[in-house]
Structure 1
Protein backbone atom coordinates (compact mmCIF):
# COMPACT_ATOMS: atom_id res chain seq x y z
CA UNK A 1 0.00 0.00 0.00
CA UNK A 2 1.31 3.42 -0.95
CA UNK A 3 0.05 6.71 0.48
CA UNK A 4 -0.03 9.25 -2.35
CA UNK A 5 1.46 12.63 -1.51
CA UNK A 6 -0.02 14.73 -2.97
CA UNK A 7 -3.33 12.93 -3.62
CA UNK A 8 -4.21 12.49 -7.30
CA UNK A 9 -7.44 13.88 -8.79
CA UNK A 10 -9.48 11.10 -10.40
CA UNK A 11 -12.78 10.45 -12.13
CA UNK A 12 -14.67 7.45 -10.75
CA UNK A 13 -18.08 5.84 -11.28
CA UNK A 14 -19.13 7.63 -8.05
CA UNK A 15 -17.93 11.08 -9.22
CA UNK A 16 -14.76 13.12 -8.97
CA UNK A 17 -12.42 12.69 -6.04
CA UNK A 18 -8.84 12.42 -4.88
CA UNK A 19 -6.93 9.14 -4.66
CA UNK A 20 -5.07 8.98 -1.35
CA UNK A 21 -3.86 5.36 -1.44
CA UNK A 22 -2.72 2.88 -4.08
CA UNK A 23 -2.93 -0.84 -3.27
CA UNK A 24 -0.93 -3.38 -5.31
CA UNK A 25 -1.66 -7.05 -4.62
CA UNK A 26 0.91 -8.26 -7.14
CA UNK A 27 1.36 -9.06 -10.82
CA UNK A 28 -1.87 -11.04 -11.25
CA UNK A 29 -4.18 -8.43 -9.77
CA UNK A 30 -5.42 -4.97 -10.71
CA UNK A 31 -4.10 -1.93 -8.90
CA UNK A 32 -6.68 -0.56 -6.46
CA UNK A 33 -7.16 3.17 -5.81
CA UNK A 34 -8.71 4.42 -2.57
CA UNK A 35 -10.53 7.62 -3.51
CA UNK A 36 -12.19 10.23 -1.31
CA UNK A 37 -15.25 11.41 -3.30
CA UNK A 38 -15.40 15.22 -3.34
CA UNK A 39 -19.18 15.71 -3.43
CA UNK A 40 -20.22 13.21 -0.75
CA UNK A 41 -17.09 12.63 1.33
CA UNK A 42 -17.48 8.88 0.81
CA UNK A 43 -14.36 6.74 0.61
CA UNK A 44 -14.34 4.03 -2.07
CA UNK A 45 -11.73 1.66 -3.45
CA UNK A 46 -11.82 1.12 -7.23
CA UNK A 47 -10.01 -1.28 -9.53
CA UNK A 48 -7.60 0.39 -11.94
CA UNK A 49 -9.90 -0.35 -14.92
CA UNK A 50 -12.75 1.60 -13.26
CA UNK A 51 -11.04 4.98 -12.77
CA UNK A 52 -9.54 7.68 -15.02
CA UNK A 53 -7.13 10.52 -14.42
CA UNK A 54 -8.87 13.89 -14.27
CA UNK A 55 -8.64 16.49 -17.01
CA UNK A 56 -5.26 18.26 -17.19
CA UNK A 57 -4.85 20.72 -20.06
CA UNK A 58 -1.15 21.28 -19.31
CA UNK A 59 -0.43 17.57 -19.84
CA UNK A 60 -2.68 17.37 -22.91
CA UNK A 61 -5.40 15.34 -21.20
CA UNK A 62 -8.29 17.52 -22.32
CA UNK A 63 -11.06 14.94 -22.61
CA UNK A 64 -10.38 11.77 -20.61
CA UNK A 65 -12.95 9.04 -21.16
CA UNK A 66 -15.57 8.59 -18.48
CA UNK A 67 -14.98 5.52 -16.34
CA UNK A 68 -17.55 2.81 -16.75
CA UNK A 69 -19.32 1.32 -13.79
CA UNK A 70 -17.75 -1.45 -11.72
CA UNK A 71 -16.53 -4.27 -13.90
CA UNK A 72 -18.67 -7.35 -14.24
CA UNK A 73 -17.32 -10.69 -15.45
CA UNK A 74 -17.81 -11.38 -19.12
CA UNK A 75 -19.45 -14.68 -20.05
CA UNK A 76 -16.23 -15.98 -21.62
CA UNK A 77 -14.35 -15.35 -18.36
CA UNK A 78 -16.70 -17.47 -16.25
CA UNK A 79 -15.43 -21.04 -16.05
CA UNK A 80 -18.07 -23.73 -16.53
CA UNK A 81 -18.89 -25.84 -13.50
CA UNK A 82 -17.69 -29.43 -13.86
CA UNK A 83 -20.36 -31.98 -13.00
Structure 2
Protein backbone atom coordinates (compact mmCIF):
# COMPACT_ATOMS: atom_id res chain seq x y z
CA UNK A 1 0.00 0.00 0.00
CA UNK A 2 1.46 3.41 -0.91
CA UNK A 3 1.94 5.41 2.29
CA UNK A 4 3.72 8.47 3.64
CA UNK A 5 5.80 8.04 6.78
CA UNK A 6 5.94 11.39 8.56
CA UNK A 7 9.49 12.78 8.80
CA UNK A 8 10.77 10.02 6.43
CA UNK A 9 8.92 10.30 3.11
CA UNK A 10 6.83 8.25 0.70
CA UNK A 11 7.09 4.50 0.41
CA UNK A 12 5.34 1.17 0.06
CA UNK A 13 4.05 -0.59 3.18
CA UNK A 14 4.43 -4.33 2.67
CA UNK A 15 3.77 -5.69 6.16
CA UNK A 16 2.03 -4.76 9.41
CA UNK A 17 3.17 -5.91 12.85
CA UNK A 18 0.44 -6.20 15.50
CA UNK A 19 1.96 -6.45 18.99
CA UNK A 20 -1.33 -6.82 20.84
CA UNK A 21 -4.02 -4.74 22.48
CA UNK A 22 -2.10 -1.70 23.77
CA UNK A 23 0.75 -0.87 21.34
CA UNK A 24 0.31 0.82 17.98
CA UNK A 25 0.41 -1.19 14.78
CA UNK A 26 3.86 -1.07 13.17
CA UNK A 27 3.98 -0.51 9.39
CA UNK A 28 7.00 -2.05 7.65
CA UNK A 29 7.69 0.34 4.79
CA UNK A 30 10.25 0.53 1.97
CA UNK A 31 10.98 4.19 1.20
CA UNK A 32 10.97 5.14 -2.48
CA UNK A 33 13.82 7.69 -2.45
CA UNK A 34 16.41 5.90 -0.31
CA UNK A 35 15.35 2.24 -0.46
CA UNK A 36 15.54 2.12 3.33
CA UNK A 37 13.18 -0.14 5.26
CA UNK A 38 11.54 1.51 8.26
CA UNK A 39 9.17 0.17 10.91
CA UNK A 40 6.89 3.11 11.65
CA UNK A 41 4.25 3.32 14.40
CA UNK A 42 0.65 3.80 13.28
CA UNK A 43 0.37 7.53 14.25
CA UNK A 44 3.28 8.34 11.87
CA UNK A 45 1.79 6.64 8.77
CA UNK A 46 -0.67 8.17 6.29
CA UNK A 47 -2.22 6.74 3.12
CA UNK A 48 -1.21 8.59 -0.02
CA UNK A 49 -3.76 10.42 -2.14
CA UNK A 50 -5.32 8.36 -4.93
CA UNK A 51 -7.35 10.30 -7.49
CA UNK A 52 -8.82 7.13 -9.06
CA UNK A 53 -10.09 5.91 -5.69
CA UNK A 54 -11.41 9.38 -4.83
CA UNK A 55 -8.95 9.76 -1.93
CA UNK A 56 -7.63 13.31 -2.13
CA UNK A 57 -4.97 14.92 0.04
CA UNK A 58 -6.45 16.04 3.36
CA UNK A 59 -5.66 19.76 3.57
CA UNK A 60 -6.76 19.87 7.24
CA UNK A 61 -3.94 17.50 8.20
CA UNK A 62 -0.81 19.06 9.69
CA UNK A 63 2.04 16.85 8.45
CA UNK A 64 4.52 17.87 11.13
CA UNK A 65 2.98 16.51 14.31
CA UNK A 66 0.21 14.12 13.41
CA UNK A 67 -2.60 16.32 14.69
CA UNK A 68 -5.67 17.07 12.62
CA UNK A 69 -7.74 20.23 12.73
CA UNK A 70 -11.29 19.89 14.08
CA UNK A 71 -13.95 19.56 11.40
Instruction: Pick the TM interval, shorter chain.
Output: 0.7 to 0.9
For structure 1, the 5+ residue unaligned runs are 1-7, 71-83
- Which structure has more helix as a fraction of its residues? 1
18-27 or 57-66: bigger deviation: 57-66
What is the TM-score when the length of structure 1 is the normalising length? 0.66
Moved over 2 A (4+): 64-70
C-alpha deviation, 1:58, in angstroms: 2.5
Equivalent residue number for residue 26 of structure 1 = 20
Equivalent residue number for residue 38 of structure 2 = 44
Between the aligned partners of 2:28 and 2:57, the Cα distance in structure 1 is 23
What is the TM-score when the length of structure 2 is the normalising length? 0.76
- Which structure has more strand as a fraction of its residues? 1
Equivalent residue number for residue 55 of structure 2 = 61
Aligned residues: 63
Structure number, greater radius of gyration: 1
Against the structure 1 CA distance between its residues 10 and 27, is the aligned structure 2 distance closer, same or farther, given a 3 Å change threshold? same
Against the structure 1 CA distance between its residues 69 and 39, is the aligned structure 2 distance closer, same or farther, given a 3 Å change threshold? farther
